[in-house]
């Protein structure tokens, strides 16, 4: 419990620091500080309303307190260009990002773990000698470039998949859930998901391979061999289970890269998610929207890290979080 | 190499640390790739047949747009009639510049923080390591985009934002190494004979962690080049610099994908892959020397 509490505290600390950094960045920019929330195109009435809501005529430290009070209530201001509340825009983009990220992660880790275990089993063979540099090479490729190639080949060239967006134009759905479960959505998600997964699979694969090699030398594996258990049973039941732990740790560490990778992949496929909202907002100097999108991306990352931590403690009973030295 | 080990002065150790990976097949490939790209970057102005942004016309005054591969234009031309091969050659410069600059800054900060944190311990250590936790908790690419978008798109700002978030990886590893080094007999001896703290840190401890710093430096180069390419692709790169990321953005924005102009958008990606892979291979070479247990 103490461990959980300290992790929770650290989560809040990261969020606080990021929020403070954003606050300072927008207030200390050379331009007019009110430009962070007020666009010249706003009506007088809107301008007054924003000034009051964010305390823009008050001293900096009061603005800081108001800023946090607003954040806590989910008040991010008004988008300059879409003339809608920032929160509304963010919440409509969030499901797209979450579904894409989680599917890509599952796909990448499922494939990576299985292929890694298989390569460890095939140790010293030609397949293994060719596979390791190949995996390294795919890992070195920029995600957006992988995406561009997949898009050119399967989207434009062969015409198997739609070339962008999350749904066909004009498609109507009864609910958000029906939209995400529709075939149309799946067809749109296939290429971005594959791109992200291709980029992500390297880490679990290489890690699984090397920990499997280590575990296969352990006494209990030798013992299982001596008992005459079939090789498949040894690999799956005895070795793989224990080799999984470092992979779960890496899962947490890799999340940061995933959330970053989202930004470019969403841009390549015009996927209406948080990353694309951030990119278009920054490009258009839509400050409130950019600020909100960055904060929400940070929240997603921090929460996923926390979940990965929980998962780890469930998987490894040896980790007793109460007593850490 | 054996001779260098006999005389373990700081300089000899440095030379040793730099030379060792050449013996490893992976590292040798990585180093050769680097050598080629450095050469291309240095000789870019000699190699490139055209100015990368020059708009080309034939004798009759027709725009040479969207040409395929040919002898005159090895990789063809863009939709505005610019020579792709020339852009690729000049782009090497931007990539290596960002990569090296970011790697040097990241490793310098990381090594310094690791040294101080590990050697002094106590509250200094706690504060620095909490800072590292926070930096690792910030989403990397979005941060670079926001910084480049708001502080202005320049190579300097990209390097700055990479440095701000990437130092903790190096710092953590160096710190743990320093923790064991500071208990060793030769450090104790230096302390007893009255060496100053800075002398112990930089003369006695630092040379022992340099190989680790290089290891993280060679990984950081790849990260920095990938990041610069991503940022330029999204349109937040410096507008006056032709880089591989800029080329890919140009291609994407000019419908090269639907036109199937593979000669335009495949080569820059391959170059990025090669440079980053070279970094991986070199770091693998270092790892096998530093942590012999990994060699199986």
Residue range B141-161: average pLDDT? 83
Residue range B248-263: average pLDDT? 80
Task: Supply the mean pLDDT for chain A.
Answer: 78
* pLDDT class of B3 with cuts at 50, 70, 90: very low
Select from B134, B230, B234 the Cβ nearest to the Cβ of A13: B134
Q: For tokens 């998949």, name the residue.
A: A161
Which pLDDT score, from 0 to 100, does residue B292 have?
55
Chain B interface includes A152 (CB < 8 A): yes
Tokens of A7: 């992790």
C-alpha A206: how far from chain center: 21
CB contact set of A301 (below 8 Å; sequence gap of 6+): A255, A256, A259, B137, B139
Q: pLDDT tens for residues A101-156?
A: 888 888 988 898 888 888 887 777 788 778 888 888 888 888 888 888 888 888 77
* pLDDT class of A28 with cuts at 50, 70, 90: low
Q: Which range is least confidently modeled, A46-55, A89-98, B141-150?
A: A46-55
CB pair distance less than 8 Å for A142 and B258: no
> What is the C-alpha to C-alpha distance for residues B181 and B166, in angstroms, rounded to an integer?
24
Which pLDDT score, from 0 to 100, does residue B20 have?
52
pTM greater than 0.90 (yes/no): no
**Overall residue count recorded for chain A in this entry:** 325
> What is the C-alpha to C-alpha distance for residues A182 and A201, in angstroms, rounded to an integer?
26
Residues of chain B with a CB closer than 8 angstroms to some CB in chain A: 130, 133-134, 136-143, 145-146, 149-150, 222, 226, 229-230, 233-236, 248, 251-252, 257-258, 260, 262, 265-266, 268-269, 272-273, 276-277, 280-281, 294, 296
CB pair distance less than 8 Å for B138 and A298: yes
C-alpha B200: how far from chain center: 30
Residue range B105-130: average pLDDT? 88
pLDDT at position A176 over 60: yes
CB pair distance less than 8 Å for A14 and B133: yes
> What is the C-alpha to C-alpha distance for residues A29 and A27, in angstroms, rounded to an integer?
6
Residue B43 DSSP SS3: coil
Residue pair A243/A208 in contact (Cβ under 8 Å)? The answer is: yes
Select the residue from A29, A124, A137, A260 to test the B interface by mutation, using most B Cβ atoms within 10 A. Answer: A260
Residue range B56-72: average pLDDT? 70
Tokens of B8: 């373990």
Q: pLDDT tens for residues B160-208?
A: 888 888 888 888 888 888 888 888 888 888 888 888 888 888 888 878 7
> What is the C-alpha to C-alpha distance for residues A97 and A91, in angstroms, rounded to an integer?
10
Look up the ipTM and state it: 0.80
> What kind and span of H or E run contains A251?
helix A241-268
Which pLDDT score, from 0 to 100, does residue B2 have?
42
Q: pLDDT tens for residues A287-322?
A: 888 888 888 888 888 887 777 777 766 666 555 444
Which pLDDT score, from 0 to 100, does residue A40 have?
67
Distances in Å between the alpha carbon of B140 and those of A175, A317, B12, B99? 33, 32, 37, 16
> What is the C-alpha to C-alpha distance for residues A193 and A147, in angstroms, rounded to an integer?
10
Which pLDDT score, from 0 to 100, does residue B15 have?
53
Select from B134, B258, B269 the Cβ nearest to the Cβ of A142: B269
Higher pLDDT residue, A237 or B39? B39
Distance from CA of A318 to the nearest CA of B (A): 23
Closest among A176, A146, A141, A183 to A162, alpha carbons compared: A183
Q: pLDDT tens for residues A252-277?
A: 666 666 776 788 888 888 888 888 89
CB pair distance less than 8 Å for B257 and A136: no
Tokens of A44: 């007088």
Residue range B41-68: average pLDDT? 73
Which pLDDT score, from 0 to 100, does residue B105 have?
92
Distances in Å between the alpha carbon of B289 and those of A113, A208, A277, A280, B18? 27, 22, 45, 46, 12
> What is the C-alpha to C-alpha distance for residues A5 and A308, in angstroms, rounded to an integer?
15
- Any bridge partners for residue B77, and if so which? B83
């Amino acid at each position: 419990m103490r461990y959980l509490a300290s992790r929770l505290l650290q989560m809040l600390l990261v969020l606080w620091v990021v929020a403070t950094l954003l606050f300072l960045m927008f207030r200390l920019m050379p331009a007019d500080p009110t430009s962070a929330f007020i666009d010249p195109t706003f009506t007088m009435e809107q301008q007054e309303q924003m000034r009051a809501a964010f305390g823009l005529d008050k001293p900096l430290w009061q603005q800081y307190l108001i800023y946090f009070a607003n954040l806590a209530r989910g008040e991010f201001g008004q988008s300059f260009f879409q003339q809608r509340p920032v929160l509304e825009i963010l919440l409509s983009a969030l499901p797209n990002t979450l579904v894409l990220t989680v599917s890509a992660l599952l796909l990448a880790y499922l494939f990576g773990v299985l292929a890694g275990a298989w390569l460890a089993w095939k140790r010293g063979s030609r397949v293994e000698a060719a596979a390791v540099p190949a995996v390294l090479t795919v890992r070195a490729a920029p995600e957006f470039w992988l995406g561009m190639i997949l898009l050119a080949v399967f989207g434009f060239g062969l015409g198997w998949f739609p070339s962008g967006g999350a749904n066909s134009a004009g498609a109507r759905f009864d609910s958000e859930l029906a939209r995400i479960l529709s075939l149309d959505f799946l067809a749109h998600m296939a290429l971005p998901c594959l791109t992200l997964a291709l980029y992500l699979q390297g880490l679990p694969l290489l890690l699984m391979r090397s920990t499997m090699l280590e575990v296969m030398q352990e006494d209990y594996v030798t013992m299982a061999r001596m008992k005459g258990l079939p090789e498949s049973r040894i690999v799956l039941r005895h070795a793989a289970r224990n080799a999984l732990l470092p992979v779960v740790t890496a899962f947490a560490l890799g999340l940061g890269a995933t959330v970053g990778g989202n930004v470019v992949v969403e841009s390549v496929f015009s996927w209406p998610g948080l990353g694309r909202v951030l990119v278009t907002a920054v490009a258009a100097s839509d400050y409130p929207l950019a600020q909100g999108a960055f904060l929400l991306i940070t929240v997603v990352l921090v929460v996923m890290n926390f979940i990965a931590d929980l998962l780890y403690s469930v998987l490894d009973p040896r980790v007793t979080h109460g007593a850490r030295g | 190499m054996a001779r260098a080990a006999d005389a373990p002065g700081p300089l000899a150790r440095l030379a040793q640390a730099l030379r060792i990976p050449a013996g490893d097949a992976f590292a040798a490939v990585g180093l050769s790739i680097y050598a080629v790209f450095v050469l291309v970057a240095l000789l870019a102005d000699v190699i490139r047949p055209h100015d990368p942004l020059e708009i080309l016309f034939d004798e009759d005054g027709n725009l040479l747009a969207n040409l395929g591969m040919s002898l005159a234009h090895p990789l063809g031309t863009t939709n505005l009639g610019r020579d792709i091969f020339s852009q690729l050659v000049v782009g090497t410069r931007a990539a290596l510049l960002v990569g090296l600059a970011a790697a040097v800054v990241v490793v310098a900060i990381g090594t310094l923080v690791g040294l101080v944190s590990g050697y002094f311990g106590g509250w200094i250590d706690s504060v620095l390591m909490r800072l590292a936790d926070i930096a690792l908790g910030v989403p990397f690419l979005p941060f670079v985009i926001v910084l480049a978008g708001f502080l202005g798109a320049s190579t300097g700002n990209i390097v700055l934002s990479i440095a701000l978030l990437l130092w903790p990886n190096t710092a953590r590893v160096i710190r743990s190494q320093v923790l064991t080094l500071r208990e060793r007999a030769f450090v104790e001896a230096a302390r007893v004979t009255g060496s100053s703290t800075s002398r112990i840190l930089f003369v006695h401890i630092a040379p022992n962690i340099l190989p680790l710093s290089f290891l993280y430096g060679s990984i950081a180069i790849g990260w920095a080049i990938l990041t610069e390419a991503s940022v330029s692709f999204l349109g937040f790169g410096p507008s006056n610099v032709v880089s591989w990321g800029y080329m890919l953005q140009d291609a994407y924005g000019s419908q090269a994908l639907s036109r199937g102009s593979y000669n335009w958008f495949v080569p820059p990606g391959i170059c990025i892959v090669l440079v980053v892979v070279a970094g991986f291979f070199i770091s693998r070479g270092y790892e096998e020397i530093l942590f012999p247990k990994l060699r199986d």
